[in-house]
């Protein structure tokens, strides 16, 4: 009986099992956007839906699921096209809200 309960809690959807099997995170399937941090100089956010705040020390980016807040100094938006935002500057922190 205990074994049966244990097996049930581990059960995954076939799509999830496939994604886990091929060891990639597919944002389209998972529904989440990708946030890539390159050292402390650059952040690349994919599937951004908009900019909610832009200051030299803070940028708040809306994505489908959550809001990404980047703290730093001298923050510039290097490019903003096709839902991809590239933020340059001295990055101190990235957090999700």
Q: What residue ranges bind another protein (CB under 8 A)?
A: 50-56, 75-81
- Residue partners of 12: CB distance under 8 A and separation at least 6: 20
> Among residues 77 and 94, whose Cβ is nearest to another protein?
77
CB of 90 to another protein, least distance (A): 13
CB of 71 to another protein, least distance (A): 14
> Among residues 26 and 73, whose Cβ is nearest to another protein?
73
- Residue partners of 37: CB distance under 8 A and separation at least 6: 43, 91, 94
Which residue's structure tokens are 């990055």? 91
- For residues 4 and 46, what is the distance between their CA atoms, to the nearest angstrom? 41
CB of 55 to another protein, least distance (A): 6
> Among residues 26 and 79, whose Cβ is nearest to another protein?
79
């Amino acid at each position: 009986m205990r074994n049966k309960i244990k097996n049930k809690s581990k059960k995954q959807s076939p799509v999830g099992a496939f994604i886990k099997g091929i060891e990639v995170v597919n944002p389209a399937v998972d529904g989440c956007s990708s946030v890539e941090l390159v050292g402390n100089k650059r952040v690349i956010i994919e599937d951004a839906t908009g900019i909610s705040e832009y200051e030299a020390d803070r940028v708040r980016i809306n994505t489908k699921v959550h809001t990404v807040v980047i703290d730093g100094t001298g923050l510039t938006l290097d490019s903003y096209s096709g839902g991809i935002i590239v933020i340059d500057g001295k990055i101190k922190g990235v957090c999700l809200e």
